[in-house]
Amino acid sequence: MRLQPIYDIAEVCAHWGVREVVISPGSRSAPLTLAFVRHGGFQTRIFPDERSAAYIALGIARNTRQPVVLICTSGTAALNFSPALSEAFFQQVPLLVLTADRPAEWTAQQDGQTIYQESVYGRHVKKSFSLPADYEHADARWMINRSINEAIALTTERPAGPVHVNVPLREPLYPAKNETAHPRAAVRVQKHWPPSYQLDEIQIAALRDDIRQYERVLIVAGQQSLNGRLRELLGTFISESNAVLVGDILSNLHGLDDNIRLADNFLALATDADKKQLQPDLLITFGQSIISKQVKLFLRKYPARDHWHIQEAGSVADPYQSVSTVIRCSPEFFFQKLRASCRADFREMWRARETKTRAGIASFMARGTRHELGVVHDTLASLPAGTHLHLANSMVVRYANYLGLSNLQADVEVFSNRGTSGIDGCTSSAMGHALTSDNTQVLLTGDMAFLYDRNAFWHNYAYPGLKTIVLNNHGGIIFNMIDGPGDVAEAQEYFVTRQLKKARTVAEEYGHAYQHATEVNYEKTMIHQLLQPTAQPAVLEFESSQEWNIASFQEFKKEIQLKL
d(CA 166, CA 95): 14
Concatenated DSSP letters of 314-361: S----TTS---EEE-S-HHHHHHH------HHHHHHHHHHHHHHHHHH
CATH code: domain of residue 161:
3.40.50.970
Give the model's pLDDT for residue 496: 77
CA distance 477 to 307: 36
Backbone angles phi, psi at 208, to 5 degrees: -65, -40
In this structure, the answer to whether residues 410 and 517 fall within a common structural domain is: yes
Band (114; pLDDT cuts 50, 70, 90): confident
Residue 192, in any domain of the structure: no
- Which comes out higher in pLDDT, residue 277 or 105? 277
Q: Which of 306, 328, 353 corresponds to the end of one domain?
A: 353
Residues in the chain: 564
Instruction: For residues 382 and 341, state if they share a domain.
Output: no
pLDDT value at 486 more than 70: no
**Using 50, 70 and 90 to split pLDDT, how confident is the model at 479?**
confident
Residue type at position 225: S
CB 148 within 8 A of CB 97: no
Which strand (E) or helix (H) includes residue 392?
Answer: none
pLDDT value, residue 194: 85
- 388 plus 514 within the same structural domain: yes
Give the per-residue pLDDT at 494: 74
> 3-class SS at 415?
strand
Contacts 24+ apart (CB under 8 A), 328-333: 328/197, 328/199, 329/197, 329/198, 329/199, 330/197, 330/198, 331/230, 331/234, 331/286, 331/287, 332/227, 332/229, 332/230, 332/233, 333/197, 333/198, 333/199
**Boundary-marking domain end, from 353, 378, 394:** 353
What mean pLDDT comes out for the span 499-516?
96
| pLDDT for 356 | 97
Residues 328 and 233 in one domain: yes
Measured CA to CA in angstroms, residue 219 lies from 158, 214, 231, 442 at distances of: 22, 13, 13, 29
pLDDT at 155 over 70: yes
C-alpha 82/C-alpha 71 separation (Å) is 13
Asked if the structure places residue 179 within a domain, the reply is no
Q: Is the dihedral of CA 263, 268, 274, 278 positive or negative?
A: positive
Together in a domain, 269 and 157? no
Residue 182 falls inside a structural domain: no
Q: Are 387 and 265 found together in one domain?
A: no
pLDDT > 80? residue 555: yes
Closest to 267 (Cα-Cα) out of 561, 64, 562: 561
The pLDDT assigned to 554 comes to: 95
What are the phi and psi torsion angles at 500 (to 5°)?
Answer: -110, 5
Q: Say if residues 171 and 74 touch (Cβ distance below 8 Å).
A: no
| Domain assignment of residue 61, yes or no | yes
Please say whether the beta carbons of 471 and 517 come within 8 A.
no
Residues 10 and 135 in one domain: yes
The pTM of this model reads 0.96
Share of the chain above pLDDT 70, in %: 99
Within this chain, do residues 397 and 502 fall inside the same structural domain, yes or no?
yes
State how far the alpha carbon of 151 is from the alpha carbons of 162, 185, 191, in Å: 9, 20, 13
Shared domain for 459 and 537, answered yes or no, is yes
Total domain count, the chain: 3
CA torsion, points 322, 325, 330, 333, in degrees to nearest 10?
Answer: -120
* Residue 484, pLDDT score: 66
C-alpha to C-alpha distances, 316 to 240, 294, 323, 406, nearest whole angstrom: 29, 21, 9, 31
CA-atom Rg of the chain in angstroms? 25
Same domain for 153 and 212, yes or no, is: no
| Domain membership of residue 524 as a residue range | 368-563
